[in-house]
Amino acid sequence: MVDVENVQAIFLNERKIMNNMTQVPVTVLTGFLGAGKTTLLNRILTEQHGQRYAVIVNEFGEEGIDNDLVVDADEEVFEMNNGCICCTVRGDLIRILGGLMKRADKLDAIIVETTGLADPAPVAQTFFVDQDVSERTKLDAIVTVADAVHLNSQLGEHHEAEEQIAFADVVLLNKIDLVDDNGVDNVQARIRKINPYAKIIKTNHCSAPLDEVLGLNAFSLDRVLEVEPDFLESDHDHEHDDDVKSLSFVSETPLDMDKFQAWFGSLLQEKGQDILRSKGILNFEGRDDRYVFQGVHMLMDASPMGPWPTGKDRNSRVVFIGRNLESMNLQEGFEGCKVSLNA
pLDDT in tens, 322-337: 889 988 999 999 999 9
| Among candidate residues 240, 244, 243, 247, the one with its CA nearest the CA of residue 63 | 247
What pLDDT, on a 0 to 100 scale, did the predictor assign at position 66?
52
Q: pLDDT tens digit string along 233-267?
A: 755 555 555 677 888 899 999 999 999 999 999 99
pLDDT at 230 over 70: yes
**Cα gap 270→266, rounded to integer Å:** 6
Q: Give the domain CATH number at 123.
A: 3.40.50.300
DSSP conformational letter for 231: T
Domain co-membership, 189 together with 277? no
What's the pLDDT at 4? Answer: 44
Is the pLDDT reported for residue 124 higher than 70?
yes
Q: What is the DSSP string of 234-278?
A: TT------TT-EEEEEEESSPBPHHHHHHHHHHHHHHHGGGEEEE
The sheet carrying 53-58 orders its strands as 76-80, 53-58, 109-113, 24-30, 137-147, 170-174, 199-202
Give me the pLDDT at residue 293, please: 86
Q: In the predicted model, what is the mean pLDDT of residues 160-171?
A: 93
* Same domain for 132 and 60: yes
Question: Are 208 and 267 found together in one domain?
Answer: no
Residue 106: CB atoms within 10 Å = 9
Q: Is residue 234 domain-resident?
A: no
- Give the tens place of pLDDT for each residue, 20-65: 457 899 999 999 988 999 889 888 888 877 888 888 887 655 444 5
- Provide the pLDDT for residue 13: 52
- 210 shares its domain with 177: yes
Are 308 and 207 members of one domain? no
Q: Would 5 be classed as within a structural domain?
A: no
Residue at 237 is within a domain? no
Q: Are 171 and 254 members of one domain?
A: no
Out of 200, 227, 254, a domain closes at: 227
Name the nearest CA neighbour of 100 among 70, 131, 137. 137
Q: Which domain holds residue 274?
A: 245-335
Q: Which amino acid is at 216?
A: L
Regarding whether 140 and 46 lie in a shared domain, the answer is yes
- Residue with the larger pLDDT of the pair 11 and 69: 69
Q: Do residues 180 and 36 both lie within one domain?
A: yes
pLDDT number for residue 251:
94
Among 163, 192, 227, the domain-final residue is: 227
Instruction: Give me the number of domains the chain comprises.
Output: 2
Does residue 63 sit in the same domain as residue 94?
yes
Tell me what pLDDT residue 101 has: 85
Query: 120 and 215 share a domain?
Result: yes
Domain final residue, candidates 167, 195, 227: 227
Report yes or no on 4 lying in a domain: no
**Which 8-state DSSP code applies to residue 323?**
S
The pLDDT of residue 11 is 43
Contact 336, 263 (CB under 8 A): yes
For CA atoms 232, 233, 235, 237, the dihedral sign is: negative
Q: Check residue 340 and give its pLDDT.
A: 82
With respect to residue 6, please indicate whether it lies within any of the assigned structural domains: no
Q: Residue 210 pLDDT more than 50?
A: yes
Of residues 286 and 241, the one with the higher pLDDT is 286
Statement to judge: residues 270 and 301 lie in one domain: yes
Q: Convert the pLDDT of each residue in 67-96 to its tens digit.
A: 555 545 455 677 665 444 444 456 778 888
CA distance 290 to 314: 8
Q: What CATH code is carried by the domain that includes residue 258?
A: 3.30.1220.10
Same-domain check for residues 95 and 194: yes
The fraction of the chain above a pLDDT of 90, given in percent, is 39
- Mean pLDDT (the chain) is 82
